[in-house]
Copies of this chain bind each other. A is one copy, B any other.
Amino acid sequence: MRAPTLDFTLLRTLVAIADTGSVTAAAKRLAYTQSTVSMQLQRLEAQLTLTLHEREGRRIRFTSEGERLLTHARRLLALNDEAWNDMQARQVTGDLTLGIPEDYASLLPSVFAYFHQLYPAVGLKVICGTSVRLVEQVKAKELDLALVTRQRNSPGGDVIRREPLVWAVGVNQQPLLSDPLPLALYSPGADVFREVAEQALQAAGRSWRVAYTSQSMTGLAPIVTAGLAIVVVTRSMLTSSLRPLDESSGLPALPMIELALHRAPHRPSEPARRLGELIREQLAAPAHALS
């Protein structure tokens, strides 16, 4: 007697029959003939020497053995697909450059680690820059993908996630609400946060001055925690040294910003597609109000 071995093909038709509730429908779904599916079911029963199904008039009913095998089958197929996908993923090769805004660098390492696990043969390079610059680089095909922040409903790229912006100040500081308002801004020339903040203040008729600027948030941190200026960050970027300011502070509400993924023009490479999908999955926004 040779090794007792199940047949994935038969198991797959079994669950298809169970899912659709009919042999004909299962056949359609699997792109087989009806007679094939019918015989496959019989073959499976013959191999196991037991009865998996009965007929109640027109409807099919699984015996307890059938139900039991079904749970085994689903488990096995899930593992099969996982294994298969994993092996296919290892064949995805190539190089890939992704651009991200500096402020998001902290959000992504886990995604990169996961990506490397799934696609060990892909060389991934990450560069940081301002959103405006990254978009230019993607258009120039210097980058395969770029994750950028942008104001709501700006054109270009696919929205991955929406996030609220907040005013923040050092955790132990009183907000410095003098007029003009002292702002700490980073990415001096081009950053979205700056635009958003200035628009909001202007609409509210407030005056402001740019008290400090830096290339990155880290450079700004000492100023802000010292209470010398107010900063704009996304809610997810709040650290323990930052305290968000609500409406009672008298500052105008800030709109949401969007995290968007830009892809290089024309057919993305396979690695780029995969990374794009992964980023979408992993960064998918927790439930927010939308549209």
Contact = CB atoms under 8 A, between A and B. Distances in A.
A91 B50 contact: yes
Chain A interface size band reads 20 to 34
A117 to B, nearest CB: 11
A12 interface: yes
Contact of A84 (B6, B31, B86, B88): B6
Q: Most chain-B Cβ atoms within 10 A of its Cβ — which of A3, A6, A69, A90?
A: A3
A7 interface: yes
Contact of A80 (B6, B68, B91): B6
A79 B82 CA distance: 14
Contacts of A76: 76, 79-80, 83
Contact of A68 (B2, B6, B9, B90): B90
Interface string A76-105: 100111111011101100000000000000
Contacts of A88: 4, 48
A81 to B, nearest CB: 7
Contacts of A80: 5-6, 76
Contact of A8 (B7, B75, B84, B87): B7
A6 B68 CA distance: 22
A91 B50 CA distance: 8
A5 to B, nearest CB: 4
B9 A8 contact: no
A72 interface: yes
Interface in A21-40: 30-31
A12 B8 contact: no
A84 B83 CA distance: 20
A69 B85 CA distance: 11
Given A3-B9, A7-B8, A75-B79, 4 more contacts: A5-B12, A48-B88, A76-B80, A79-B79
27 contacts: A2-B31, A3-B9, A3-B12, A4-B88, A5-B8, A5-B9, A5-B12, A5-B80, A5-B84, A6-B8, A6-B83, A7-B8, A8-B8, A48-B87, A48-B88, A49-B91, A68-B90, A69-B83, A72-B79, A72-B82, A72-B83, A72-B87, A73-B83, A75-B79, A75-B83, A76-B76, A76-B80
